[in-house]
Amino acid sequence: MDDIVIDGGKPLSGEVTISGAKNAALPILAATILTGGRFTFHNVPRLKDIESIQHLLVSMGAEFVRDGHTVHVDTSNLKDYEAPYEQVRKMRASILVLGPLLARMKRARVSLPGGCAIGARPIDLHLNGLSILGADIKLEHGYVEAAAKRLKGGEIYLDLPTVTGTENLMMAGVLAKGVTVLRNAAREPEITALADVLNAMGADISGAGSPVITISGVKKLKPVTATIIPDRIEAGTFMVAAALTKGDILIKKCDPSHVEAIIHKIEKSGAAVEVSENSVRVKGGEAINSVDVKTMPYPGFATDMQAQFMVLMSVANGFSVISENIFENRFIHVSELKRMGADITISGSHAMIKGRPALSGAPVMATDLRASASLILAGLVAKGTTRVSRVYHLDRGYESLEKKFKKLGAAIKRVRGGS
């Protein structure tokens, strides 16, 4: 397992290009199950999670060829409808094959994802929705056994605006007989990106990006060529890095409209933000002001940015409160930040942060994807050396993050086979 070692204290400046969004690429790659033929996707990030869904699709009989940041996928010879435990255990987003498999193969056998570091993360809303669409769902031996001669349209109200739940049900509805309406649907940009690809394939979806999505079933779909949208969480991570190190970073190939809530909070913290069509420039302010944050479904402040923003608040002037309203256990990074000198007290879903003049470098351990990004951010600003272990968590969702930070002037390196 690799470590990443950082000598903190250097302001970051220069330009960084954002990679394609992991959470857009995963459902779009799952959507290739819906029809045979050769798909081509550009701007697909090189990440462990993308490799995971590649292995899963190939294990079912798909062809998957990567050419740089372009991938070609063909599921014409799909012969299996199972997502085994070994795969789903590694990446819970594998559950995204459930809807498309039911739609195309009329059957699916997908391992229950189980919990993860940040919470129980049940899939009851996915399963209830599929039952409404006529699927026969059984839970046996840790697997979802689903079958449906032909899915039929239905009215689904989602108790929570679940992102992958909305994606799974949208994909299940595109070949169903009749109209499916998803109410209280998630509104993330990745939902809209998936709907755009499905419509290009011949689906008939309206309302993506709003709380009510209508899917009129069609008989046939065709493969397409598409480009993956930029990763708004990676963009937000670099925005925090600029404010945190009092640097000046031009974040290129991002969509500013996807990071409005983050821009608002970064500006309130005292940094200057310049927005143009597909880039955001962030210049750190002299002082870092404390800002309260509540994580909410999109377009609210993203839970995937909570750990990163907490690092900024840990060196702000004054006292701030960060409330995590999406996942029940997404403060695992706090204990490691406290070892670096952060003054944070947890009370239920709230983290009370008393800003300190500086953090101090220390050996720390990553526990989940966004926590690992926050520990690297803390190392960038801490006095002394920070060694982050178990960075395989980072490699799931950030493409060459340490190389991008090094280009911006950070004293950072990856130590192969560290701890």
By annotation, the residues acting in catalysis are 116
Task: Confirm or reject binding of residue 119 to ligand EPZ (CB under 6 A).
Answer: yes
Task: Confirm or reject binding of residue 202 to ligand EPZ (CB under 6 A).
Answer: no
CB of 37 to ligand EPZ, least distance (A): 25
Task: Confirm or reject binding of residue 326 to ligand EPZ (CB under 6 A).
Answer: yes
CB of 23 to ligand EPZ, least distance (A): 4
**Residues ≥6 apart with Cβ < 8 Å to 367:** 117, 332, 333, 336, 390, 393
Among 123, 224, 251, 364, binds ligand EPZ (CB under 6 A): 123
Q: Tell me the window of 121-129, 130-138, 336-344, 404-412 that interacts with ligand EPZ (CB under 6 A).
A: 121-129
Residue (of 277, 298, 194, 282) closest to 245 by Cα position: 282
What 3 state SS string does 353-419 have? EECCCCCECCEEECCCHHHHHHHHHHHHHCECEEEEECCHHHHCCCCCHHHHHHHCCCEEEEECCCC
Among 32, 52, 164, 192, binds ligand EPZ (CB under 6 A): 164
| Residue 116 DSSP code | B
CB of 126 to ligand EPZ, least distance (A): 5
For 321, the enclosing helix (H) or strand (E) is strand 319-323
Q: Is the dihedral of CA 329, 317, 233, 7 positive or negative?
A: negative
- At position 10, the amino acid (one-letter code) is K
Q: Tell me the window of 7-15, 116-124, 196-204, 224-232 that interacts with ligand EPZ (CB under 6 A).
A: 116-124
Task: Confirm or reject binding of residue 124 to ligand EPZ (CB under 6 A).
Answer: yes
Helix (H, G, I), strand (E, B) or coil at 115: coil
**Residues ≥6 apart with Cβ < 8 Å to 307:** 330, 333, 370, 371, 373, 374
Helix (H, G, I), strand (E, B) or coil at 16: strand
Q: List 108's β-bridge partners, or say none.
A: 146
Count of CB atoms situated within 10 Å of the CB of 419: 13
- CB 116 within 8 Å of CB 368: yes
Strand 13-17 versus strand 248-252 pairing type:
parallel
CB of 356 to ligand EPZ, least distance (A): 27
Comparison of 73 and 305: residue with beta carbon closer to ligand EPZ:
305
Among 162, 269, 290, 386, binds ligand EPZ (CB under 6 A): 162
Give start and end residues of each alpha helix (H) in 148-247. Answer: 163-173, 189-200, 232-244
Task: Confirm or reject binding of residue 54 to ligand EPZ (CB under 6 A).
Answer: no
Residue (of 171, 126, 157, 159) closest to 144 by Cα position: 126
Size of the site for ligand EPZ (CB under 6 A): 24
Task: Confirm or reject binding of residue 399 to ligand EPZ (CB under 6 A).
Answer: no
Among 93, 213, 242, 316, binds ligand EPZ (CB under 6 A): 93
CB of 188 to ligand EPZ, least distance (A): 6
Comparison of 8 and 165: residue with beta carbon closer to ligand EPZ:
165
CB of 150 to ligand EPZ, least distance (A): 24
CB of 209 to ligand EPZ, least distance (A): 15
CB of 79 to ligand EPZ, least distance (A): 26
Distance CA 105, CA 151 (A): 11
Task: Confirm or reject binding of residue 232 to ligand EPZ (CB under 6 A).
Answer: no
Comparison of 185 and 337: residue with beta carbon closer to ligand EPZ:
185
Comparison of 125 and 148: residue with beta carbon closer to ligand EPZ:
125
Task: Confirm or reject binding of residue 374 to ligand EPZ (CB under 6 A).
Answer: no
Among 187, 265, 370, 393, binds ligand EPZ (CB under 6 A): 370
Comparison of 5 and 118: residue with beta carbon closer to ligand EPZ:
118
Tokens of 264: 């608002």
Comparison of 255 and 304: residue with beta carbon closer to ligand EPZ:
304
Torsion angles phi and psi, residue 246, rounded to 5: 55, 45
Among 43, 75, 192, 303, binds ligand EPZ (CB under 6 A): 303
- CB 12 within 8 Å of CB 241: yes
Among 6, 21, 23, 255, binds ligand EPZ (CB under 6 A): 23
Task: Confirm or reject binding of residue 389 to ligand EPZ (CB under 6 A).
Answer: no
**Binding interface with ligand EPZ (CB under 6 A):** 22-23, 26, 93, 119, 121-126, 160, 162-165, 186, 303-304, 326-327, 369-370, 397
